[in-house]
Amino acid sequence: MKDKIISLLAAFETENLGKSFPMDYCLPVYHCVSDENLPHIRHIIQYKNTKQFEADLDCLSKHFQWVSWSEFKDFISGNFKPKKKMALLTFDDGFREFYDTVIPILERKGIYACNFINPAFIDNQELMFRCKTSLIIDEVERGQKIDPEIFSVLSLENPTREQLKQQILKINYHKRDLLDKLTEKFEIDCKAYLKKHSPYLTTDQLKILTQKGYGISSHSWDHPKYNELSLQEQMESTELTFSYLKENNLMYDSFAFPFTDFGVKKDFFDELFKNQEIFCCFGSAGVKSDSIERLFHRIPMEMGESGEKTLKKETAYFRLKKIINKNKIVRR
């Protein structure tokens, strides 16, 4: 019902997107762009193909001014005034397609981007637990007979394939060892998959991207959901990543939450900003402000719709929530 109301309101957003957009900055976030079927992502991310991605960029270029990381920082600090409302393009997770597919498009269009990476996966050392989930679901969908032992691993009794998929999708970071048991049962060799497909960026590629002027920054060590971690675990993952970035001469002045910032309490930010080298951090709550002044929210662009429709819906939702004064996230 909520989505229907927002879609209806979005249809009335006929003004210039940039003028009607309620914030001074637009922060789109993507994970991957590919024209290929990627089994390790396709069941967890609705990634766009190159045509869809370029259409998004063209739409944003029409209404916003693309900025670099230094320009974004200067804008926030009051030292830069763009001609139009600005947009900073961001990517998460450090997938290889950022180097192979995205960068050639951005170079052609003259657009900067920053990719927030998980060092645990760079050089294809490990596969993120949600990517294992996607590979397992891919096997479930093949329609082959499923070993009953798989049901027992998940404490299920004769589930349908859809029920099995939903249960696998529920496996979180702290129970990720279940995914290793399932990949074994399904005879999925993750190490062989990593070697054959190289889903992640390599150290050499990170260096080349940095030399080209693109940003590489922090997305935690191995992509946990932060509201499921203790404060100590949150800081360990964050600080370990900053150390990696610093050692490799990458950007270590920003942090983007893996999954979501939802439910992360004020004490994390108090600890985070004790590190005076950190300029800001990024959430993914869409068009919203936050009681944490240096937390900026990005707009997820992989929701199965065009970039234009996504921005119109975000604008409409902002207007709707403004009526009940619910446009600001308050941390306690």
Please tell me the predicted confidence (pLDDT) of residue 322: 83
Per domain, the residue ranges of the chain are 2-127+199-329, 129-194
Please tell me the predicted confidence (pLDDT) of residue 184: 96
CA 64 to each of CA 194, 240, 311: distance values in angstroms, whole numbers, following the listed order: 38, 35, 12
The answer to pTM > 0.85 is yes
**120 contact partners, CB below 8 Å, separation of at least 6:** 126, 128, 221, 222, 223
254 beta partners = 280
Please tell me the predicted confidence (pLDDT) of residue 324: 83
Please tell me the predicted confidence (pLDDT) of residue 8: 59
Please tell me the predicted confidence (pLDDT) of residue 1: 62
CATH architecture of 2-127+199-329: Alpha-Beta Barrel (3.20)
Please tell me the predicted confidence (pLDDT) of residue 248: 97
Kind and range of the H or E run holding 289: strand 289-290
Token pair belonging to 329: 């996230």
CA-CA distance, 107 to 207, in Å (whole number)?
Answer: 17
Closest to 128 in 3D by CA, of 207, 42, 199: 199
Please tell me the predicted confidence (pLDDT) of residue 13: 65
Please report, as a single letter, which amino acid is at residue 116. Answer: F
**Segments of the chain with pLDDT less than 70:** 1-2, 4-15
